[in-house]
């Protein structure tokens, strides 16, 4: 009888909720789409590579030149750029959409990038997408990576440098 029921549900069309032996289950919630534009970096390595190469972030508020890492920085020589949302937020947590790009520089040449983008207003390390890569060598690409959070927890909402 149970097999007949499952067969009938399957034959009713694709609008039916998935059925398990324990009864119908709720559909998976859809993730909100991530907007990508000149002020909003993507959140995957595959999409970040061309976005960074395009250089739109260079129109943000950027430090004039690369400098040695500031304590407790682990990124070596770098130059930081802040998007309009991050740059305009003088106090408190940063709003959803705030982003920063850190060019990682060696001998005057950009060799990698560290990127952060605020994805929700939870005000935790997990509310940020964290990314660091040198070419195709991805160090970090996700939310709240252990090695990053330890150092960044000392910054305001996990950000040490806001460029105005």
98-150: per-residue pLDDT in tens?
Answer: 999 999 999 999 999 999 999 999 889 999 999 999 989 999 999 988 778 88
Let me know: does 67 contact 79? Beta carbons within 8 Å: yes
Helix (H) or strand (E) holding 63: none
In sequence order, the 6+-apart residues with CB closer than 8 A to the CB of 78 are 66, 67, 69, 102, 103, 104, 105, 114
pTM higher than 0.75: yes
More confident residue, 78 or 6: 78
What percentage of the chain exceeds 70 in pLDDT?
A: 80
For the cut 50, the answer to whether the pLDDT of residue 81 exceeds it is: yes
Can you give the pLDDT at residue 72? 73
Question: Residue 79 and residue 93: Cα distance in Å, rounded?
Answer: 22
């Amino acid at each position: 009888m149970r097999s007949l029921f499952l067969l009938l549900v399957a034959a009713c069309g694709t609008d039916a909720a998935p059925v398990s032996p324990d009864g119908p289950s709720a559909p998976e919630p859809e993730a909100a789409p991530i907007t990508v534009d000149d002020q909003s970096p993507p959140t995957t390595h595959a999409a970040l590579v061309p976005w960074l190469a395009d250089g739109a972030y260079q129109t943000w508020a950027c430090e004039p030149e690369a400098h040695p890492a500031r304590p407790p920085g682990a990124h070596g020589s770098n130059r930081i750029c802040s998007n309009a949302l991050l740059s305009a937020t003088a106090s408190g947590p940063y709003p959803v959409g705030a982003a920063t790009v850190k060019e990682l520089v060696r001998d005057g040449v950009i060799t990698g990038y560290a990127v952060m983008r605020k994805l929700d207003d939870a005000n935790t390390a997990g509310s940020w997408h964290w990314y660091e890569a040198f070419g195709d060598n991805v160090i970090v690409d996700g939310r709240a990576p252990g090695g990053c959070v330890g150092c960044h927890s000392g910054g305001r909402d996990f950000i040490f440098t806001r460029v105005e």
